Amino acid sequence: MNAENIVIATAKERNLQIRYVRAPDGWVGPENFELTHGDVPVPGDGEVLVRNHYLSLDPYQRRQMIPGVEYVRPLRLGAIMEGRTVGEVLQSQHRDFRTGDFVYGDFGWQQFGVLRGEEIRKIDTTLAPPSAWLGVLGSPGITAWVGLLHVAKARAGETVIVSAAAGAVGSVVGQIARLSGCRVVGIAGGPQKCRLVVEELGFHACVDYRVADFEAMLAQATPDGADVDFENVGGTVFDTVLTRMNDFGRIALCGLVSQYNLREPQGLRNVATLLNRNLMLQGFRVGHYKEQREPALHQLADWVRQGKLRFRETVAQGLEKAPQAFVDMLAGHNVGKQVVKLV
């Protein structure tokens, strides 16, 4: 079977797509998206046609929907919803790619897509299954590595707090912290996630932020305070973490997922703690640490190969499930990396 045959075959298929059609006011929901059908595109010179196997759902995508948000590329209404995917090359007009290669790219919420060869990357599916390249070996994993080791500069012997500890980024942060000789305390929603974080991912402790005595529980889990906070959540969770920070602590501010769906953000109460305890807070995006990408990936792949770094996924089946899965992820229903399986 050669490339031309495949294209003839796929050209007969419809290309299921999901468009972002309405800006949310408060909680995002399926009504903000629309299912449409397009043609399977034909790659031009230097381009590659890909059948997407997995679509990545990430909290930062909700930030892209906030009106007037700056420094994060806003989504365009009516366009195919943006998103990262891994998939299989069906036809290549670029010399670096061949039919059957597995690649990573920003193909968006659709079954088939075309990008230039320079915009995509081959992935090694012998090291880890394709979907892992959207999680532990993708942006979430590299974000965890950069934020913990380069932004917050966690060192062996320190105590690290990680919020959204069962999520795609947090679950990797905690494991890297443990592998780096830190004591690591997770924060997650519900006893099931907390158990997973400790028993499967090897965190030293995990505290359920939904319990009434959350602050007391967090204090008990951090008897020596905390030197680093890898902050994914914001709101009252962040305010509570601040009560545990030691003098000269560092906060890697990676996300504020508790805030994205609120009409009025909660803000931060314990501002004085930042002053009183000489804390450093750094907002960051992994895209600004390009020089760390290769060393991070190298280290993460080594750990995956050695079985030291575990990864969990929550998989929705079928592109049409993507909107609801996106909403559920923002509500914390997922464990580990949330993906949508498209084939």
Between 179 and 219, CB nearer to its own copies: 219
Strand, coil or helix: 251: strand
In sequence order, the β-bridge partners of residue 246 are: none
Binding mask 308-337 toward its own copies (x if CB under 8 A, else -) reads ------------------------------
> Strand 85-92 vs strand 102-105: parallel, antiparallel, or unpaired?
antiparallel
- Residues whose CB is less than 8 angstroms from the CB of residue 220 and which lie 6 or more positions away in sequence, other chains included: none
Question: How far is C-alpha 269 from the chain's CA centre?
Answer: 27
CB-based contact 20:33 (threshold 8 Å): yes
Of residues 224-243, those binding its own copies (CB under 8 A): 234, 238
Q: What would the two tokens of residue 110 be?
A: 């659709």
Q: Which range binds its own copies by CB under 8 A, 87-95, 186-194, 271-279, 300-308?
A: 271-279
Between 288 and 290, CB nearer to its own copies: 288
DSSP code per residue over 4-59: HHHHHHHHTSEEEEEEE-S--SSS--GGGEEEEEEEPP---TTEEEEEEEEEE--T
Question: Residue 82 CB, nearest distance to its own copies (Å)?
Answer: 17
Of residues 29-68, those binding its own copies (CB under 8 A): 63, 66
Question: Residue 116 CB, nearest distance to its own copies (Å)?
Answer: 27
Q: Is 25 in the site for its own copies (CB under 8 A)?
A: no
Question: Residue 79 CB, nearest distance to its own copies (Å)?
Answer: 21
> Strand 102-105 vs strand 121-122: parallel, antiparallel, or unpaired?
antiparallel
- Site size toward its own copies (CB under 8 A) is 34
Of residues 64-83, those binding its own copies (CB under 8 A): 66, 69-72
Between 51 and 250, CB nearer to its own copies: 250
Q: Is 181 in the site for its own copies (CB under 8 A)?
A: no
Question: Residue 192 CB, nearest distance to its own copies (Å)?
Answer: 28
Binding mask 272-291 toward its own copies (x if CB under 8 A, else -) reads x-xxxxxxxxxxxx--x---
CB-based contact 283:292 (threshold 8 Å): no
DSSP code per residue over 128-140: S-GGGGGTTTSHH
Residues binding its own copies (CB under 8 A): 63, 66, 69-72, 234, 238, 247, 253-256, 259, 265, 267-272, 274-285, 288
